[in-house]
Structure 1
Amino acid sequence: MNDWHSWAALVVFVGAYSLIISEKIHRVAVALGGAGLMLAIGATDDVTAFYSEDTGVDWNVIFLLMGMMMIVGVLKKTGMFEYLAIWAVKRARARPYRVMAMLVVITALASALLDNVTTVLLVAPVTLLVCERLGLPAAPFLIAEVFASNIGGTATLVGDPPNIIIASRAGLTFNDFLIHLAPLAAVLILLLLLLCRVMFRKSFVYDEDRAAEIMELEEREAIRDPRLLIQGLVVLVLVVAGFVLHPVLHYEPSVVALLGAGLLIAVSAVETGDVLAEVEWPTLAFFAGLFVMIGGLIDTGVVDEVSGALADMIGTNEFAGSMLMLGASAALSGVVDNIPYVATMAPITGDLVQNMGGASDHVMWWALALGADLGGNATAIGASANVVVLGIAERNRQPISFWQFTKYGLVVTAVTVVVAMAYVWLRYFGWG
């Protein structure tokens, strides 16, 4: 980092991150201001920021979010989320912790099949309605679902974007992720349920009157537009099928989401303006600014310096290397979005594996995946799902502060990373 651009980019990023933490200025203004400063100091330029596939704005993420937000916006008009909210509460007998456990498990399973961002977009509206019906604070439930989405997304190749990057670099298959990471993800979800019982215990207030009212409701009466519901569900099924069949169809998730949103608007009677009004535009702007800021760190070599230092510390010791890779990746992914981090670390990890003579069972790659995926839970901006849920909560007047999220996120990350380290040691070294 001899170039002044590197130091300037680091100062801008640290300053922006500090302002986001302090919450004295809205995070969208900070992200866009930080992106503007990165461009002004020459840490990146317009071509790189807006057109670079590696270090610019990830338009696939932006348009995936926009497409899914539009589909969710149409489904909200049908009463489907009210139906699911009543159904979930009745199945859990209106007991708050049972409701949270049900939503956590559903979120984790859905995140393994879809990507975690799509999952929270679908689950968050249900959660808000459940909490409204039961008179409960929504924040603990939404935060728990974010944790579940990031842990559940660890289990499969398509569950979290970093896994797709790792699979491409390492030549790993969908089944490889299922065999190596799904068992750990299942254990971590059970552990998360126990942590939620302790962390959010003050929120589990049972209101007998509200519970009785909900138990008497008929969920089918919540459906306001059956025809639109059928149209929306058909499109949603097609979109999910497009996500799952990505290895065959070769359509990016963003393309599938936009095609689905366009098809749903075309075949239904909803107004385009009404659908666009449901898009979380501040969240998309925040992502764009964040991508530009992180791109500035990558373009000026700051991320490479950190990654190179990590590689030097690892050397050829596979066990120590995997532990360091997992721990350091978790720490860094809590600060820098895990997608660009993994994109930067993937070639370095490939070189490390070669230096180790191939490294058995792809353990270094699993360590990178676990660190990046689980580390995303550490802070409010550690992963895409976190940012999306914070935006939804703010729009529904249930704001979640940076520290409110992060104080729980640090606990969950620390516990899950320690368990992941024990799993890696036991599976790949302890039995060897």
Structure 2
Amino acid sequence: MNAVPHPQKQSHPNPDARKLFVRTVALRDRADSSLVRRLPDGVPLAWLSGDDGIVGWGEAARLECAPLPEGTAPTDTSRFDEAARWFDALLERAEVEDEVDLPGTGLVTFGTFTFAPTSAGSTLIVPRVVVGRRAGRTWLTTVTDEPGTHPEELLRPGSAPRPVGPVRWRPGSLTREEWMGAVAGTVARIRAGELEKAVLARDSFADADAPVDVRVLLERLRTRFPACFTFSVGGMVGATPELLLRREGDQLTSLVLAGTRPRGEDAESDQRLGQEMLASAKDVEEHGLAVDSLRAALEPLSEELVVPAWPHLLRLANVQHLATRAHARLSPEVSALDAVAALHPTAAVGGTPTATAMRLIAEVEGMDRGGYAGPVGWLDGAGNSEWGIALRCAHVDGAHARLYAGGGIVAGSDPVSEVAEAESKFRVMREALTDPEA
């Protein structure tokens, strides 16, 4: 969290100096039709919330940030700075015609950033075609290298998504017992005063017989978790409940989630579980640390900041969380990626203190998180954006998928309960990768 507002953007040297021609036009579309059905087969880009969102395909421009060497400070934000300079350079040489003028129109890039600066995978992608829907309006954006290209010529109807087929499941980098040992060791270090909280994650693997059609995962996730943000960027696919930030103009919204319980079998048990969490010293402490990290990150960037004093319950299809929604009015010189750099990693996915927790994570998890628990989302040329935290997700590469899940560890954490919480979070992607019985 060492990003600072930059008063004047500098152009990023880029050997690719092509001029981009961007055109956004309105589309007639059924308000309840799935945007996923617009996608052709291949490597889709998506950011969906219910029936709204944006999807894209093709590549007009791409940035891949090189991982930094081992020993780099775990809170280094240079990959976000590099991404901001690169997108600014694209905007400088883009000719934009936007007939719709909504957040997500005009020049748009999808992005995924790694959890740690030493990991490979921080990527921005400007698609050739974007289809979006917001507030009952649907649009088409095309990005071409030559002016005058008719947008409808690039709008290809999507083929039917393919079922995943048989899936073989493999254990992750650490066994259940090894991970429980890592949790127990972390609790001991917290009780000894080394840190206050660390978020530990697990991975597991899935292998299909043929390349996974990401579109079928997107549709299953979008349908089952309409209150979440369903995403596909750079191989990271999932449905996250956690909104790192939404920026429209100078207004910013962020949603903090920390503290988890399963949903009850009926309304009475559901209510009981939620009230237990609200009364739990362990869960309230974990949540409070996450809220404190958000407040500390946003205060230097904001002219106004409102953070509720007490969390509320957010109930999803499979779990319920303690949630706090914060609002800010950003200072004029602060960009969306400035705010992303300042907020990442929140205490909800890293820990407290941040640098100490990130070093512990690298030491005991036994894996490279890649894009898991990193920012994922989109940014447009007007500075509007939505970024979530890549949770309840998998990295999909052809016929292979690597699933991730984790939880916050504090002094009162129990290894058996933490394993159970991670397993409940794994179910999101395991069920998305499992075809319904014929």
TM-score by length of 1: 0.23
TM-score by length of 2: 0.22
Judging by fraction of residues, say which structure has more strand.
Answer: 2
Judging by fraction of residues, say which structure has more helix.
Answer: 1
